[in-house]
Structure 1
C-alpha cells in the first residue's frame, strides 16, 4: 500500500482521483482548503488538483493563491516523495497552431488581465519543476468532459443540457471554434500512470485532436439533437496537443466522438 495526498479533493478531478486510489486499496488523504496537517504528515505522492477555472477572472487573488501560494508552501515546508501539479493546455493558446508540444516556450502577456490564469499556472509549473529537487511533474490537462453533474466546461454543460433539451441554442458559439476534448476517466488513468511510472517534466493529458463546434453539432444531429450555433467568425487556429509522452506511459485516450455518441445514446 502506498501513501497519496490529493489536494483539491473536493473538486471534480480530485474527487475522482480519491475514489480511484481507494478502489486500488491505497492509503489516501483527501485534503481540502485550510488543511494544516499538510505540513505535519508524510504526504507520500501528492496530486495537486487545487485551482480555479470559470471564475478566475472575477477572483484573481484567489486564483493566485490556489495556483501558486499553496504549492510554494508545500515545496518549502512539506514532506513528500512526489508531486504532480495539474495545469492546463490553454497555456499553448498564444502559440496558435504551432503550439502544443510540452517542450514549447510559452508566450504569455503579463498586461492582459485574463492572463492571471495562464501566468499563475505557469508560475506554479515553474516552482514544481525547478524547486522540487527532481520530485515534481506537471500534467497539462485539455478540456475534460463528462456527463456527471459535477463536471464543468463547455462540452460537459452541453451534455447536461441534452438531458433536458432536444434543441439547444448556442448563439454565442462560432461553428469553427475548436477544442481538444478528453473524457474524465482517461484523465484519471493518465494521472495514475504518471504517479505509477514516476513521470518527469511536463505531460499533456489530451486526446491530441481538436473538435470544432460544427463537429459537435453534427455528432448531436446524428443522435437526434439539434445545436443552433451562432455565425462564424475569423478565429485563430488552436494549438494541437502532442501526446507522445502520454502514449509512452501506456495511455491512449478514447476518441471523444465515440464517447459523446455513447453518452447521447444513453440519454
Structure 2
C-alpha cells in the first residue's frame, strides 16, 4: 500500500518539486487547494507544510501570520496526520550575534521591529509543530534555496536564469554579500528523509557554508563569463548554520560552487 502524503503549498517553489519527487517514489499525494476544508476531515498521512510568504511578507503582515501560524494551528488541532514536517527558515538566526549556530540555541527577536513579522510567525509555527503534536512534528529550517527553473525565486536563482543567454552579466548587488545556498533538489531529499523514522525535531536544511557573490562570480570567471556588481556594500554575514543534524540523517548537500560550475559547464540549459 503506498504511503500517504499531504503537501500544503504544493504549487509553490519547494512544494511543486516535492510533489514530483513523492509521486515518482510511489507516494499517494494529496495536494489541496488553498482553503480546502478536507484538510481538517480526511486522513492526511505525512503532512509537508510548505505554505508561506517570502518576498512580500512585509507588505502583507496579516497574510504572513495566517500562512505561517494560523493554518498550521488549525491543522494541528484537527489532528488528522501521522507526521508533520513544517518548513521554516535559517533567517530565524539573523538576530543572533554568533558566527555559528545550531538548532539547540534559543532564538533572539526584536518584537518592535515590523520586519520581524516573518521571523516571529515562523517561530510560532515551529513552536506549535514541536510542542503541540504529541511528538509527531519536525521542523526544517531552510537556507537560501535556489534553482534555475522559470520563476524560481531568490537572488541566485535570478542570476542563474539570466545566465542562460550567455555572455557577461551585470548584477544589482554587492560582491561582499554572503549567504548559505542549498539547491532545491537537496532540500527535497532532506524533507523526504525527515519524514522517515522518529520525529527529527529541528533540522537545519542548509549547506553549512557561507559563500559570497564574489566567490560565485569566480566560478563564472573560470567558465569564461564575467560578472560585474553595481553595489559595494559590506553587510555583516549571517550566522553560519550547523548541518551536523542533517549529515546525521545521511543528507550532504552539494556545494553551490560545484553546482554552478556544472550548470555552466552543461551550457546553462534549463
RMSD value, Cα:
1.3
Q: Is the 8 A contact 2:94 2:239 kept in 1?
A: yes
Q: Is the 8 A contact 1:190 1:251 kept in 2?
A: yes
- 2-side partners of 1:189 and 1:140: how far apart? 14
Q: Give 2:148's aligned residue.
A: 147
Structure 2: how far apart are the matches of 1:224 and 1:120? 44
Instruction: Give how far 1:99 is off.
Output: 4.2
Aligned to 1:31, the other structure's residue is in SS state coil
After superposition, where does 1:106-185 map in structure 2 within 5 Å?
106-164=107-165, 166-171=167-172, 173-185=173-185
1:1-267 aligned at under 5 Å gives the runs: 1-164=2-165, 166-171=167-172, 173-266=173-266, 267=268
For residues 49-75 of structure 1, what are the alpha-carbon distances to aligned partners after superposition, in whole Å with 9 as ceiling and x for unaligned? 000111111111111110011000001
- Secondary structure in 2 matching 1:238: coil
Describe the SS at the equivalent of 2:148: coil
Contact 2:136 2:199 in 1 (8 A): no
Quote the Cα distance in structure 2 between the aligned partners of 1:57 and 1:226: 34
Name the SS of the counterpart of 2:203 in structure 1.
strand
Mapped partners of 2:151, 2:42: distance in 1:
30
Distance 2:234 2:160 in 1: 26
CA contact (8 A) 1:96 1:236 kept: no
Question: CA separation in 1, counterparts of 2:167 and 2:95?
Answer: 35
SS at match of 2:195: helix
Matched position secondary structure for 2:96: helix
| Stretch of structure 1 that moved more, 209-218 or 225-234 | 225-234
User: How far is 1:111 from its partner?
Assistant: 1.1
Q: Secondary structure at the match of 1:123?
A: helix
Of 87-96 and 192-201, the range deviating more from structure 2: 192-201
Runs (4+) of structure 1 exceeding 4 A deviation are none
TM-score (norm 1): 0.96
For 2:79 and 2:152, locate their aligned partners in 1 and report how far apart those are by CA, in whole Å: 30
Aligned mates of 1:107, 1:119 — CA distance in 2:
10
CA distance in 1, matches of 2:151, 2:19: 15
* 2:177 and 2:234 in contact (8 A); partners too: no
Structure 2, gaps ≥5 residues long: none
Q: CA deviation at 1:232?
A: 3.0
